[in-house]
């Protein structure tokens, strides 16, 4: 088969999302409230609309995608499945390397796959305005885009250091009508408190989350809600359209089930999106190696324990059962901003616990080497996060060569790197460092969760 | 027909480029040398390889695309033809608006369509190294990419003010192995001379061209040549793959010939690429309105005379018969850097003279308004250059509504704007100005060509 680009017709777009929670042999542990007891759906109602909360707690295997959402997704979906023939040739591997190209969305990553349904369900519920936080800016851009198309106001609290370093990301959000402020901001009680105590703070994702939640719950009109771009079950659900499309596309070129499925994982959503439909096959007996990849600077899955922990630094979220490095963990300043998160999606964490996944960690230098090889063979410039998937795909392709096996490798090309060229520049200048989290640092960070309930 | 994305299979990629020079009723005027006489091909030999010079002077209608070049183009070609259904709906127009999406190339624009063949022909001719200039950086990025894939060294002289303002463009070139220096540079005699006389100059495209040509012709080994990204006949030729694909794609959805064809034009290559195959239909009697669009700040086609002029400021190139504002013209600092060129491709200029094209000029404010409308309906963020085509498409779609006519409008989406968000920020902040070239300014600039031969 010579075609490098495998398209799916619009009429063949998946009409349902796949919910992995329906298929685990052992059910995942529930989130806990401040009292240590499982939370009820209505406890989340001030933060999320009830139609999204229903998805969050659902154990239905298939959930219908409303036609109105599909109509919006058609702007870029179905996304192409592509074959990396130029990289294969360079590596002289017998493996066939396929990748799902999520960089084709208007915001440049997989994030709009959940931003659009989240905005749509909020609109259906009568909500007028969404708040969120953003670190590197990918998620804030995606939600701004979705709110622009659907007709909601959007306020983004962007970690101050990123806000200052990435003015183009702010502009991108503004093009779609989003209002972006540096966090901590003077717009919330919590922000004002932090600014008063530490006027020169660079900010953090934890502070930004706290501000976005405070903003949402304190709107007296009840017309504002909060939106999260990863970690939660409904986010994983919306992203499964990636893997469901990929399956149809592989079938359309008479390809078998992949031997290896790879995605980088920060909060877990792009990895889950591609892999969960294949995790289902694995539960049903298929032999697939499924690899979430992460940075050695933030080795949540490969080093962090499975524990109950908060999703944010300020401990405002329920306790989630997940792999974590402790909610106070501050990773080294690697350039894959989307992978600098202390926790991991509960569904991904549970799949690891069930023995379905084989996480691996890569250092950023090795990842940039893979990104450069990609640009100089396939042509495109990938996001620093995506390079963690490419590094693994290259490793697996070399292994297939050593073993002389015609393997099928599938990975998620989660986004382009056109807004992230600063890291490439530092790599080319030899200014990047290797970062490996030490056991001492990790143990110190885990102190913060020692008194929390144990799973 | 509901499909918004019209793909072409790899096997259906055009196998020949179309040469408009074969079909004009009256032949275009030849380039002239310093003596005022038509130049011979061998006079160009120190600058370009002979296989490219042959294409430059060819009057064959169809020129074969070597299979090895097609194999490289497959990284992103055939490019999608898309239908702007969301914009149509917003405008409530009976027109069907199609656009050829050239933003999908690794460098993000149509430029690699000629960078790849130019690098390939140079490599075939035994050349080891290419030099070029770049203003905003699109062309430098494209040539770096092509040289990386084909295996040539690449040196880019980038106008100093752009070099300083757009560090990410430099990084992009470096990712593909290109060497980018600020021009004027200490690397050439001409650069050193300019630096000595005006150490703080912001540079100009004219200076950068002079440096790149000097670098190429002064390599004693004879293994360096110069490469140009627009204006010349062979560049227009390579770009016709855009229009040839678009024709096949329109046919594949049973669409008639377009009523209106639109492309923005700086040097003319993306416009020519889409439109020349349709200009051929028009010569053969089809009723098509074909519109090259330009900025009111640099109204080469709508205000500039048809005259003999140099392609560069330092008068190193032959005299070309073209629409020009004079080789010393310095346009106002609009953000569509790719449209700030004093001249226009001789083939495009000749087509205007033959009455085949209807050029229009748009102010940058109106163009950014069109770009914002595009982002908030179709989703994607376009290049500032491309917005000059969108503004015209919107105008034509409104006209079709007024006339109650079901027109087919086709335009070239020449590139994305992800590297050009500064202009969007200024537009959103209300800091952009309208620029209309005055007759006095133009007359003053045209003084520079008053003693040159007349066409």
Partner residues linked to A5 by β-bridges: A82
A75 touches chain B (CB under 8 A): yes
- Is pLDDT at A397 greater than 80 in this prediction? yes
Higher pLDDT among residues A278 and A332, named by residue? A278
- Verify cis geometry, omega within 30 degrees of 0, for the bond prior to A41: no
Q: At what angle do helices A346-353 and A269-283 cross, to 10 degrees?
A: 40
pLDDT confidence of A203, banded at 50, 70, 90? confident
pLDDT digits (tens, 9 = 90+) for A115-138: 999 999 999 999 999 999 998 899
- Is pLDDT at A443 greater than 60 in this prediction? yes
- Is pLDDT at A112 greater than 60 in this prediction? yes
Give the closest of A171, A422, A428 to B425, CB-based: A171
Quick one: which of A228, A227, A191, A189 has its CA closest to A343?
A228
Minimum CA–CA partner of B105 in chain A: A380
B431 touches chain A (CB under 8 A): no
Sign, Cα dihedral of A182, A187, A191, A193: positive
Best interface-test mutation with A: which of B2, B5, B113 has the largest number of A CBs within 10 A? B5
- Distance, CA of A437 to CA of A324 (rounded, Å): 13
Give the closest of A104, A175, A428 to B424, CB-based: A175
Residues in B closer than 8 angstroms to A424, CB to CB, are: 171, 174-175
- For residue B75, the distance in angstroms to the closest alpha carbon of chain A comes to 7
pLDDT at A2: 54
Q: Which residues contact A325 (CB under 8 A, 6 or more apart)?
A: A298, A299, A300, A303, A304, A342, A343, A437, A442, A445, A446
Minimum CA–CA partner of B370 in chain A: A175
pLDDT at A332: 83
**Contact between A418 and B419 using a beta-carbon 8 Å cutoff:** yes
Phi, psi at residue A362, to the nearest 5°? -130, 140
pLDDT confidence of B330, banded at 50, 70, 90? confident
Minimum CA–CA partner of B375 in chain A: A176
**Contact between A425 and B171 using a beta-carbon 8 Å cutoff:** yes
- For residue A354, the distance in angstroms to the closest alpha carbon of chain B comes to 39
What is the pairing mode between strands A179-183 and A319-323?
unpaired
pLDDT confidence of A201, banded at 50, 70, 90? confident
**Contact between B376 and A148 using a beta-carbon 8 Å cutoff:** yes
Contact of B197 with B217, CB cutoff 8 Å: no
- Is pLDDT at A194 greater than 60 in this prediction? yes
What is the mean pLDDT of the segment spanning A3-16?
Answer: 94
pLDDT digits (tens, 9 = 90+) for A310-344: 998 888 899 999 999 999 888 888 788 889 889 99
pLDDT digits (tens, 9 = 90+) for B1-49: 457 999 999 999 999 999 999 999 999 999 999 899 999 999 999 999 9
Residues in B closer than 8 angstroms to A168, CB to CB, are: 421-422, 425
pLDDT at A19: 98
**Contact between B171 and A418 using a beta-carbon 8 Å cutoff:** no
Give the closest of B3, B375, B421 to A168, CB-based: B421
Residues in A closer than 8 angstroms to B108, CB to CB, are: 418
Q: What is the per-residue DSSP string for B359-396?
A: -EEE-HHHHHHHHHHHHHHT-PPBPTTTHHHHHHHHHH
- Distance, CA of B313 to CA of B211 (rounded, Å): 12
- For residue B354, the distance in angstroms to the closest alpha carbon of chain A comes to 39
**Contact between A2 and B9 using a beta-carbon 8 Å cutoff:** no
Proportion of chain A above pLDDT 70, given as a percent: 100
- Is pLDDT at A3 greater than 80 in this prediction? no
- Fold topology of A30-63+111-226: Rossmann fold (3.40.50)
What is the pairing mode between strands A260-264 and A408-413?
parallel
- Verify cis geometry, omega within 30 degrees of 0, for the bond prior to A352: no
What is the mean pLDDT of the segment spanning B270-294?
Answer: 98
- Distance, CA of A377 to CA of A394 (rounded, Å): 12
Tally of CB atoms within 10 A around B237: 27
**Contact between B75 and A104 using a beta-carbon 8 Å cutoff:** no
pLDDT at B387: 98
Q: What is the per-residue DSSP string for A307-360?
A: EEEESSTTS-SPEEEEEBS-TT------S-GGG--SB--HHHHHHHHTT----E
pLDDT at B2: 54
Q: Is there a shared CATH topology between the A5-12+75-108+234-449 domain and the A30-63+111-226 domain?
A: yes
Tokens 């009256």, residue located: B26
Best interface-test mutation with B: which of A87, A380, A423 has the largest number of B CBs within 10 A? A380
This prediction's pTM: 0.97
Best interface-test mutation with A: which of B171, B172, B373 has the largest number of A CBs within 10 A? B171
pLDDT digits (tens, 9 = 90+) for A424-437: 999 999 999 999 99
Tokens 């089809």, residue located: B286
- The number of residues making up chain A comes to 455
pLDDT at A331: 82
- For residue B106, the distance in angstroms to the closest alpha carbon of chain A comes to 5
Residues in B closer than 8 angstroms to A380, CB to CB, are: 106
What is the mean pLDDT of the segment spanning B85-95?
Answer: 98
- Is pLDDT at B312 greater than 90 in this prediction? no
Q: In A33-78, which ranges are continuous DSSP H helix?
A: 50-57, 67-73
Give the closest of A372, A379, A422 to B145, CB-based: A379
pLDDT at B180: 97
- Is pLDDT at B211 greater than 80 in this prediction? yes
pLDDT digits (tens, 9 = 90+) for A243-255: 999 999 999 999 9
What is the pairing mode between strands B81-83 and B62-64?
unpaired
Residue A94 Cα distances to A5, A97, A374, A388, A391, angstroms: 19, 9, 18, 22, 17
Contact of B248 with B12, CB cutoff 8 Å: yes
Domain boundaries, chain B: 5-12+75-108+234-449, 30-63+111-226
Half-sphere exposure of B54 (CA within 13 A, CB side): 9
**Contact between A171 and B421 using a beta-carbon 8 Å cutoff:** yes
What's the gap between Cα A143 and its chain centre?
14
pLDDT at A401: 98
- Averaged pLDDT score across all residues of chain A: 95
Quick one: which of A277, A283, A258, A255 has its CA closest to A25?
A283
Residue B111 Cα distances to B53, B108, B132, B272, B419, angstroms: 19, 8, 13, 12, 15
**Contact between A168 and B379 using a beta-carbon 8 Å cutoff:** no
Tokens 């909360």, residue located: A53
Higher pLDDT among residues A339 and A3, named by residue? A339
pLDDT at A382: 98
Strands (DSSP E) contained in B90-173 are 96-101, 129-134, 153-159
pLDDT at A1: 40
What is the mean pLDDT of the segment spanning B110-121?
Answer: 98
Give the closest of B4, B168, B424 to A421, CB-based: B168
pLDDT digits (tens, 9 = 90+) for A32-76: 998 999 999 999 999 999 999 999 999 999 999 999 999 999 999
- Is pLDDT at B276 greater than 60 in this prediction? yes
- Is pLDDT at B382 greater than 80 in this prediction? yes
CATH-assigned architecture of domain A5-12+75-108+234-449: 3-Layer(aba) Sandwich (3.40)
Residue A450 Cα distances to A297, A353, A441, B287, angstroms: 22, 20, 15, 77
pLDDT digits (tens, 9 = 90+) for B138-166: 999 999 999 999 999 999 999 988 888 88
pLDDT confidence of B424, banded at 50, 70, 90? very high
- Is pLDDT at B363 greater than 90 in this prediction? yes
């Amino acid at each position: 088969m010579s075609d490098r680009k495998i398209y799916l017709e619009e009429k063949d777009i998946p009409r349902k999302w796949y919910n992995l929670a329906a298929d685990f042999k052992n059910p995942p542990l529930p989130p806990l409230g401040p009292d240590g007891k499982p939370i009820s759906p209505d406890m989340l109602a001030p933060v999320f609309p009830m139609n999204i909360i229903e998805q969050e707690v659902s154990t239905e295997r298939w959930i219908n995608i409303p036609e109105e959402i599909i109509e919006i997704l058609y702007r870029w979906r179905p996304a192409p499945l592509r074959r990396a023939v130029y990289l294969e040739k360079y590596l002289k591997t017998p493996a066939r390397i396929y990748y799902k190209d999520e960089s084709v969305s208007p915001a440049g990553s997989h994030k709009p796959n959940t931003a659009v349904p989240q905005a749509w369900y909020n609109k259906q519920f009568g909500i007028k305005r969404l708040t969120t936080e953003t670190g590197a800016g990918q998620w804030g851009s995606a939600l701004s885009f979705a709110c622009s198309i659907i007709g909601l106001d959007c306020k983004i609290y962007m970690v101050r250091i990123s806000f200052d370093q990435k003015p183009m990301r702010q502009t991108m959000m503004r093009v779609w009508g989003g209002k972006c402020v540096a966090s901590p901001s003077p717009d919330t009680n919590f922000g004002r408190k932090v600014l008063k105590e530490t006027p020169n703070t660079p900010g953090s994702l934890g502070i930004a989350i706290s501000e976005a939640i405070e903003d949402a719950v304190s709107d007296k009109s009840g017309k504002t809600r909060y939106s999260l771009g990863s970690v939660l079950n409904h986010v994983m659900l919306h992203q499964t359209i990636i893997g469901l499309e990929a399956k149809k596309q592989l079938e359309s070129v008479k390809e078998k089930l992949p031997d290896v499925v790879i995605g980088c994982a920060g909060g877990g959503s792009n990895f889950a999106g591609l892999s969960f439909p294949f995790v289902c096959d694995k539960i049903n007996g298929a032999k697939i190696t499924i690899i979430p990849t992460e940075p050695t600077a933030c080795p949540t899955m490969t080093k962090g324990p499975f524990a109950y922990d908060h999703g944010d630094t300020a401990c405002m979220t329920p306790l989630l059962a997940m792999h974590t490095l402790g909610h106070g963990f501050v990773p080294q300043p690697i350039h894959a901003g989307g992978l600098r998160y202390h926790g991991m999606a509960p569904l991904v964490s549970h799949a690891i616990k069930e023995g379905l996944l084989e996480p691996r960690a890569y250092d950023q230098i090795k990842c940039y080497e893979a990104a450069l090889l990609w640009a100089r063979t396939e042509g495109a410039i990938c996001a620093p996060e995506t390079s963690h998937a490419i590094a693994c795909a290259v490793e697996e392709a070399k292994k297939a060569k050593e073993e002389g096996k015609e393997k099928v490798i599938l990975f998620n090309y989660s986004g382009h790197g056109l807004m992230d060229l600063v890291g490439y520049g530092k790599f080319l200048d030899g200014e990047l460092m290797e970062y490996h989290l030490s056991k001492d640092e990790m143990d110190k960070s885990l102190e913060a969760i020692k008194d929390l309930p144990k799973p």
